[in-house]
Structure 1
Amino acid sequence: MLVTTAFAIGTPSFLAAVLLQGLFAVRLHWFPTGGTGDGLGRMLWHLTLPAVALALYLIGMLARVTRAAMLDILGQEHVTVARSRGVSERQVIRRHVFRNALGTVLTTGGLIVSTLLVCTVLVESAFSVGGIGQLLELSTTTKDFPTVQAISLIMVGLFMTVNLVVDLLHPLVDPRVALGPRRQAA
């Protein structure tokens, strides 16, 4: 598990794109090398390798953070108390460990989505898939500054929206986190 996540985290998305194309598209002929295809089924088939190239790093990072957060909580006192009361290991993991680790995982998930926005540009270029990344690349090379600014504004808006959603979901996951100012007891 640790070796797999280290490999996934250490492989940049553009390198994963090239390696996946070389193996599954060129050598094995299982997937197309690029484009988008006609129809929904063909489009999904064409987007499989780019999606895997983007997700490889992100899944590795999320798995590593989830493991670290759960190991940290496994050593805490309330887990030991739950085990000593005779609670089954499955319930200890589900109720006490994963529930408390979910805040860290949620925050990391928000950061991962912002990373996904940046990596999309590189993967779209490698697979010749038309999208916002390819438009940004074309606009940059042709010095179309209004388009570059608009795409940057959209990406910043998406980043802020994701962070807002994570901040609003955090009190639902961890009741100790409160929205708004706390009142001091007199």
Structure 2
Amino acid sequence: MSWPLFLARRLAALVAVLLVTSFLVYGLLYLVPGGPMAFLLGNRSGSPEQIAAIRHEYRLDDPFLIRYFGWLGDALRGDFGQSLVYRQGVSDLMSTRLATTGLLVLYATVIIVVAGVGLGVLGALRRGTVDAVISLVNSIFLATPTFVVGVLLVIVFALGLGWFPVFGPGTGLPDRLYHLTLPAIALSLGSAAFLARITRASVGEELRREHVETARSRGFSQSHIVRRHVLRNASIPVVTVTGLTVAGLIAGSVVVENIFALDGLGSLLVRAILQRDFAVVQGVVLVLVTAFVLINLAVDVCYSLIDPRLSPGEAT
């Protein structure tokens, strides 16, 4: 499959996924008990004239499809409507929090890739005690929920030792990285352990391949064999798991942001759900789904960059 055709198909799939998602998000929120009218009226019953005025003000008296396509058209222009709670544009609310969530996910991704791939390769090359210790640590991290890890990190390294701040995203890039260190570690430990297991299995399988045995018989050093014959061939499943893991971090950031009082998209989404702030929920969910699909597109592109023998889309 050629690159233009591959990209065209992936972009078409992206548009289809976003259309279906936007329709479901927009429609399902109006099926909750009371809908937006329950929030707008509060504890008041409201006269028929008041209800009619509110429905007209928020265009709730328009047919559903007209409201949906109107909202979708505005969303394509970057306008997700007004927050019912904050009385502020949803786009403005998200833009101020997007940097925090984005930097947190990026920081956690770096930790996952470095720790997961490094420990996985080390476990595959150093069978015995080293491999057993790494496997034990991986099992512990995989079995420990993210919120438990976050609370323990706060108790030990923030409150106990005082090495890191307890909450807040910080200001400026160095201070932000300092504030986001514990949240990124809490968000990444389980995923790093899972990636380490996948990397160990993939590298171990490649080490048993015939071409690796041939390279050993020709006298090549172990480091040369690992660099030239093992890592690239073992990277396809590693890239796949990394892409899925990074996409999952976007959802996992909700828990971490609440533990460390980070004002990101995740905490904004939780508050919006509890407060029935429909416009904010719709906007945040659509942005998160878009990020998820784009990450999977990037993974597909990486396949062909890692191994040119694979045509675009073949590895999936």
2:266 aligned with 1:133, yes or no?
yes
For residue 164 of structure 1, the aligned residue among 297, 305, 316 is: 297
| In 2, Cα distance between equivalents of 1:177 and 1:30 | 47
Q: What is residue 184 of structure 1 aligned with on the other side? A: none
Range with greater deviation from structure 2 (168-177 or 32-41): 32-41
The answer for the alignment partner of 2:284 in structure 1 is 151
Which runs of structure 2 are paired with 1:36-185 in the superposition (5 Å)? Answer: 36-179=169-312
Alignment check: 8 A CA contact 2:239 2:299 kept:
yes
Q: How many percent of aligned residue pairs carry the same amino acid?
A: 44
Do 2:303 and 2:310's aligned partners in 1 also have CA atoms closer than 8 Å? yes
Q: Which of 44-53 and 67-76 deviates more?
A: 44-53
Per mean C-alpha deviation after superposition, the further-off stretch among 35-44 and 25-34 is 35-44
Change (3 A) 1:100 1:30: same
Aligned AA for 1:67? Answer: R
8 Å CA contact 2:300, 2:313 repeated in 1: no
Look up the equivalent residue of 1:154 and give its one-letter code.
V
Structure 1 unaligned residues grouped into runs of 5+: 182-186
56-65 or 40-49, which moves further after superposition? 40-49
Deviates more, 1:56-65 or 1:97-106: 56-65
User: Which of the pair has more CA radius of gyration?
Assistant: 2
Shift of 1:39: 4.2
- How far off is 1:134 after superposition? 0.8
Gapped regions of structure 2 (runs ≥ 5): 1-133
User: Who is 2:162 aligned against?
Assistant: 29
How many pairs align?
Answer: 181
Q: Tell me the TM-score normalised to structure 2 length.
A: 0.55
Residue 104 to residue 141, structure 1, CA distance change in 2 (3 Å): same
Give the Å deviation of 1:149. 1.6
Q: Are the structure 2 counterparts of residues 16 and 74 from structure 1 closer, same or farther at C-alpha, using a change threshold of 3 Å?
A: same
Q: 1:8 Cα deviation (Å)? A: 2.0
Q: SS state of the match for residue 52, structure 1?
A: helix
